[in-house]
Each structure stands twice: as structure tokens, then as C-alpha cells.
Amino acid sequence: MSVKPLTIGELTAGIPVIQGGMGVGVSLSGLAGAVAAKGGIGIISTAQIGFREPDYHQNPHEANLRAVKKEIRRAKELAHGGIVGVNIMVATRHYEEYVRAAIEAGADVIISGAGLPVTLPEIASGVPVPGNGQPVKLAPIVSSLKSANVIFRYWMKKYKYLPDMVVIEGPLAGGHLGFTEEQLRDIPGMHFEEEADRILEAAEAFGKEQGKEIPVVMAGGVYTGEEAGKWISRGLSGVQMATRFVTTEECDAHPAYKQAYIDAKEEDIVLVKSPVGMPGRAIRNTFLQKAGKGAIPHGKCHGCIKTCNPADTPYCITEALIRAVEGDVENGLLFCGSNACRSERMETVGTILDEVADALK
């Protein structure tokens, strides 16, 4: 039996793996292009993507929009015809402009979470992707049946449109999470597998009613091909993997960032309260110890998240993430998934995707 590809409308990925979007600067064109070239779906995170632009500190918004286009176009070149998409947080300031910039640059798929992307079809539905002429594919991230139903019903009522794909983000994922801290401290008690089944059933029901196939993929806690297979055997179309791709040669993060994952032990993976109001998961380090003792001074606001108030934030999350991805791993914020402690060595994108494909045969 061969591997069943992941099909999203006219798009087909030979290996049913989406590489999760990781900001700031962890998943850019290098990683996304490599994953797409090997048969998966490569995803660029637009979160403060312009941090390397020379005018970033003076004009962060303009630098970010410029970098969105630059990174997508480079990833498409590296992908050699493979599928490249973006992850754009709903909580991002100027969200609509990032969506338009991504489409203009040729993104095949837009994955959107950190809030419900209720207005995404208004901006992007039916808009053709330059280069292939097919409409850009829209994929909301949901963490509950309730949020999935809100998207299905609202998009149909308002736009006569259903998602082209749904990404279920579970409690074992990295970065900002769509759960309460209490839920995250009792993950077994959540019985999230059953919630994922309910989301899948809802997607199938809405899709059948409108004559549309809606692939559903699982994100969070998927590290091996065997773990991917468990979700696919439940009826899902694929998985999203992020943490596993950090410790690859192709990942865009600094080598010290990757080494921090390799060095991390299980007890080093902790829950943190983000300045933007959501719980997250990160690797324990000097920065988190300092943050636990009081506010950390920061510079000029970079205009990243709508919910952040620079006047009372305990630290600047943008500054913390940039320091980490540039290699200052003790004084930066190291977001990660629950499986970061399983990283033992550097790998390549091809090796990981081959392993997944072999496990799914």
C-alpha cells in the first residue's frame, strides 16, 4: 500500500505532512522550501518576518510586508513546484494586509489561527495565486468543536464558503495555545482524541452538505511517522509537524537555537504566560527565570499583536523571540512543542519525511 497523499482542492502533497509555521524566524523560506521540495507542505510564519530587514526597527510593518513577499518567492523557487503556504495569526496587527501580501507573492495555502479567522474569506476567497491561477486555499486552525462550528456556520452564512482544509491544534503543540492553563495541566483529562473525532465529523457533515471535500489534519504532539499514522488511521487526512523540523539542517533558526532543543530534558519544557494573554510552551532558561521575577525593560513597540499593551507588558515578546532565533538562547524566549525534549541530533528534512512515508506504507 502506498502513502495516501494530502489533497486540498487542486493541490496534492505526496506526503501528508504540513510543516508547522514557527515564528519569529524559525520557519522561513529555507525550511518551507525544503519541505515542499520533498513532497510535504512547507509553511512560512509571517510573525515579525522582517526582523532581518535593515529598516525593521524604524519601520517594522513595512519591513514585514516586504519580507513576506521575499520569503514566499524564495521558498517557491526552492520548492521546485511543491506546495508553499503561510501561517498568519489573526491576532496580528494589519492582519488583512499580510493576507493580501502573501497571496500576491504566490502562497498556495493560508493557515490562520491565534484567534478565529472569521474574515479570511472576505479577503481571500476565490483570489487566484499568481503562477498557477488556482484560488488560494484557506485553512483555519481550531482547538475545539465549538470553534470549528463557528467557522463553518459563519463562513457559510456570510461568504457561502467552507474551509479548504481544517487544522486541529491540540494541547501538545508549541507556541501560543488555544487552551486554558488549567486544561494544559491535565491533558489526559481533556480526552482530546474524542474532540478531534467530533471536529472531523463536523467537517465531513458540512462538506457533504455542500459537496466539498474538507481535509482535516492534526497538529500538536506529532513527532514520528508512527504517531502520524495513528491520527490518519482515525480518519484524518494528514498531520502538521513543527518541533521535529527545528533540529534540521534546513531550519532557518540559529544553530544555538537548534542545540537548545537537543539539550532540553523533559523537565525543561514548561508552560508560560505570554504577554499577549495566551498560555504557551517554552524551554526553561535564564530569560524565563528573569521574567518570573518581574518586568523586563524593552524598547520601541514593534506592532506585533493586537492584544499587547506596551505600557504594561512584562516583556516584549518580539524582542525575546528575535534574541532566541538569532542565537542568544539564554536571554530569549524559546517557544517549543511538548516533544522538544525528544530531539537528540541534527537531521535533514528529507530524512524525516522519508521516515513518515515509510511508516504510512
- Would you kindly state where each structural domain of the chain is located, as residue ranges? 6-253+344-360, 255-340
Statement: residue 114 has pLDDT above 90 = no
Statement: residue 307 has pLDDT above 80 = no
- Say what the pLDDT of residue 1 is: 44
The arithmetic mean of pLDDT across residues 189-199, rounded, is 93
When pLDDT is cut at 50, 70 and 90, the band that residue 155 belongs to is very high
pLDDT tens digit sequence for 117-136: 999 999 998 888 887 788 99
Statement: residue 275 has pLDDT above 90 = no
- Say what the pLDDT of residue 58 is: 93
The arithmetic mean of pLDDT across residues 323-327, rounded, is 96
CATH class label, 6-253+344-360? alpha beta
- Say what the pLDDT of residue 2 is: 67
Rounded Cα distance between 259 and 75, Å, is 24
Which residues are within 8 A (CB) of 315 and not within 5 positions of it... i.e. 6 or more apart? 275, 291, 295, 296, 298
Amino acid identity at 283: I
Statement: residue 204 has pLDDT above 70 = yes
Q: Which of 70-74, 88-92, 315-319 has the highest mean pLDDT?
A: 70-74
pLDDT tens digit sequence for 217-245: 999 999 999 999 999 999 999 999 999 99
The arithmetic mean of pLDDT across residues 73-88, rounded, is 97
Which residues are within 8 A (CB) of 39 and not within 5 positions of it... i.e. 6 or more apart? 13, 14, 15, 82, 353, 357
- Say what the pLDDT of residue 274 is: 81
Rounded Cα distance between 112 and 103, Å, is 13
Please tell me the pTM assigned to this model: 0.95
Spacing of C-alpha 172 from chain mean position? 13
Rounded Cα distance between 83 and 325, Å, is 25
- Say what the pLDDT of residue 296 is: 82
Q: How many CB atoms lie within 10 A of CB 66?
A: 17
| Helix boundaries (H) for the chain | 29-37, 60-79, 95-105, 120-124, 145-159, 181-184, 187-190, 192-210, 225-232, 243-246, 255-263, 286-291, 317-325, 349-360
